Amino acid sequence: MIVRQMAVLMRLCGIFASEMAEMKDIRQLSLEQLTALFVEQGEKPFRARQLYEWLWKKSAWSFDHLTNLPLNIREWLAKDFVINAVEISEFQKSNDGTKKVAFGLHDGNLVEGVLIPTEKRLTACISSQVGCSLSCKFCATGYLDRKRNLDASEIYDQVVHIRNICDEEFHKPLTNIVYMGMGEPLLNYSNVLKSVELITSDQGLGMAARRITVSTAGIAGMIRRLGDDEVKFNLALSLHAANDEKRNEIMGINKTNNLDNLKSALKYYYQKTKNQVTLEYIVFAGFNDSIQDARELFDFAKQLPSKINIIEYNPIDNASFKNADLGKMEKFSRYLEEKGMNVYLRKSRGKDIDAACGQLANKST
């Protein structure tokens, strides 16, 4: 008898799960599609605008929260649609105040985001993919399989969660967003740009596009597309070596997107957007830390309006690279400064909880 009851229960659970899987996430619909849907249901078009505001301006994650919509509309929405909201799965705090958040997705996958607090800024570092396909040798995410792209709503939700942490713990607003977490943003182009729109739009979170930076390992064709789309946000290139032989060794993407192609694409991007590019350069001891390496970096950077971030390496389990000592990094930076480059020596944050640049790999406590 008990076995039969359990079998029935399991069958019902399976049916319920199947039905949930078939239900469409309401946030996949544009305002125009929502309006058409409401009219089809015999509702006034302004109700669609009310719903859209709840979803993207007020960040509602439950139909029960839509208090200015009539009960019958809320019941209809809950019956036919879902909101696949991202949830906080785990939370870690570094000794330096950095906070790492593991985000649980509706399909059971995890991605990570980071809140980096400084005296003047509160920066959210967010992910664009589950895993990554580029396999950069120095990056922990690169050793994970790429499972899928994140939807625009899943990227947006990360920002909302981190913004809420800023409000609750620092009583200050989130000031900056960097797409430097897990994944390659330009291999999830449409969802990344849609998420930026949701974050910057007056109908969304209303943040300034100049406060957003999208970082790429270097995909020339997509950089040109950013130029064609005349994006308003900032672009950063993870360079890390300014000659093809070394860059091929640590970043496989360079074999199909070499430095000449990248340089041409970045010039095109600047012509279209008038936004200077940030060149990110991790300094590895004994690999790319010599004055000759600095000279090659200068030769690359001088050809386009740019600034250079010199970044210390953050060790990961799968790689044998070591960080260059501070004196060598300062000498490297000084050479570039004397050549007239805008150079910033960046200190790592959150290293003790695997939250620093290149360390995100869904490692739990």
Which residues are catalytic, by number? 112, 357
Q: What are the φ and ψ backbone dihedral angles of 101, each rounded to 5 degrees? A: -120, 125
Give one DSSP letter per residue of 9-53, joined into a string. Answer: HHHHHHHHHHHHHHSEEGGGS-HHHHHHHHHHTT--HHHHHHHHH
Burial of 57 (0-12, 13-18, 19+ CB in 10 A): middle
Given a contact cutoff of 8 angstroms between Cβ atoms, the answer to whether 319 and 137 are in contact is: yes
SS3 282: strand
* DSSP bridge pairs for 115: 99, 124
Given a contact cutoff of 8 angstroms between Cβ atoms, the answer to whether 240 and 260 are in contact is: no
Cα(61)–Cα(346) distance, integer angstroms: 36
Nearest to 126 by CA among 163, 157, 158: 158
